[in-house]
A = this chain, B = another copy of it.
Amino acid sequence: MATLDDFYSIIPAGGTGSRLWPLSRADAPKFLHDLTGSGKTLLRATYDRLTPLSGTGRTMVVTGRAHRAAVEAQIPELEDANIVLEADPRDSTVAVALAAAILRRREPDVIVGSFAADHVIADERAFRRVTAEAVAAARAGYIATIGITPTEPAIGFGYIRAGDSVGVADAPRAAIVREFVEKPSAQVAQRYLDEGDYLWNAGMFIARADVLLAELAAEEPELAAQIEELAEAWDEPARRGPAVDRIWPQLQKIAIDYSVAEPAAARGRMVVVPGDFDWDDVGDFSAVAKLHNNGRRGRLAILGSEGTVLADSASGIVVSQSKRIVSVVGIHDVVVVDTPDALLVTTTDNAQRVKQVVDAVRRSGNTDAL
């Protein structure tokens, strides 16, 4: 498959992944870890997955100032023009729309696609095929998303209800988005799976930059104007800093789901292309264990090899990030995350509760460990 000449990838690399604490930290967030054992961080794997689509040098990374060095270490070939440093995090609308606005000024007809820095996709060919359809739909003026075909009644994801095909040539599977729905209960998730027209929302958005920004302007005119103002000054070194200093503190924090995707769906401007490839947002250690154990229970995954891991009748996952001996005996579906300054012991079934521990660590005053 050839690269898509009018396409540009955006990777918003933010969020700490607090359900992956103590592996994921403020200064070493999820996207800077190799959670699959591939030898690549999630960020690097995302970058490498997108390059065949948008072409070399046509991927922009949006990240926090604190992560600049780490991002550059992961992607040494990333040009300065392709890194957008956020003064502080302002949620996904600012991250994606600012990148889109900067790119549109450079390339008025550009189609942008935004893909999280910390998701895992095994079948890259299928991903490229589906994304090419989404780009074709975007070329036709839609805002496109990729909805993952569910393989189980997951309660950890939002869902997209697909409607009829929109009949775009080169995007035969692109269907109108009837609605976005929030994370469901187990019962509702089972119904979604049975009904067959619900897809997982993987947070991937593909659109012409001008279409995306017009949708934003219709829903959030003030934010859209501030973003345009920033973008207009961005590529002039003497003007960028003052513009950021003046505008950034005022920027509204709002997820792109609310500022663009849902309003666009309500206006019939949003399509979804079903993605029938394995996808995971690796939201907690249960997901990490599953990835490593190929979905099979009863195995013990070992992530990292700083120390010596000794196991006897154990399954689940051990993350070894200290130089210690970690021994796990007679315990199943366990999660042990061993780092130099913090240890987590839980089970895969309780992996979602780690966020509460992070809150407890914050309350205990050990903020260095966050």
Contacts and interface: CB of A to CB of B under 8 A. Distances in A.
Interface of A: 22, 308, 310, 312-313, 323-331, 334, 336, 338, 340-347, 349-350, 353-354, 356-357, 360-361, 364, 366, 369
B312 A330 contact: no
Given A334-B345, A343-B324, A366 B329 contact: no
A312 B353 contact: yes
Nearest to A310: B360
Given A329-B350, A330-B349, A336-B343, 6 more contacts: A312-B360, A325-B364, A327-B342, A330-B350, A331-B334, A331-B346
Contacts of A325: 22, 341-343, 361, 364, 366, 369
A346 to B, nearest CB: 4
A345 B336 contact: yes
Contacts of A344: 327-329
Copies of the chain in the assembly: 2
Nearest to A354: B329
A134 to B, nearest CB: 38
Contacts of A313: 350, 353
Contact of A331 (B341, B343, B345, B356): B345
A61 B309 CA distance: 38
Contacts of A354: 329
A296 to B, nearest CB: 21
A330 B356 CA distance: 11
A148 to B, nearest CB: 28
A90 to B, nearest CB: 30
Contact of A364 (B308, B331, B357): B308
12 contacts: A310-B361, A310-B364, A323-B341, A324-B340, A326-B343, A327-B360, A329-B350, A330-B346, A330-B353, A336-B343, A336-B345, A338-B343
Contacts of A327: 22, 342-346, 357, 360-361
Nearest to A349: B330
Contact of A328 (B345, B349, B356): B345
A310 to B, nearest CB: 5
A361 B311 CA distance: 10
**Most chain B CB neighbours (cut-off 10 Å) among A22, A323, A340, A346:** A346
A360 B308 CA distance: 11
A338 B337 CA distance: 12
Contacts of A326: 342-343, 345
Contacts of A308: 361, 364, 366
A201 to B, nearest CB: 27
A185 to B, nearest CB: 20
A331 B331 CA distance: 10
A19 to B, nearest CB: 11
A345 B256 CA distance: 42
Contacts of A22: 325, 327
Contacts of A334: 331, 345
Contact of A329 (B310, B340, B342, B353): B353
A346 B328 contact: yes
Contacts of A338: 343
A331 B342 CA distance: 17
A340 B354 CA distance: 23
A343 B343 contact: yes
A213 to B, nearest CB: 43
A326 B350 CA distance: 16
A332 to B, nearest CB: 9
B310 A324 contact: no
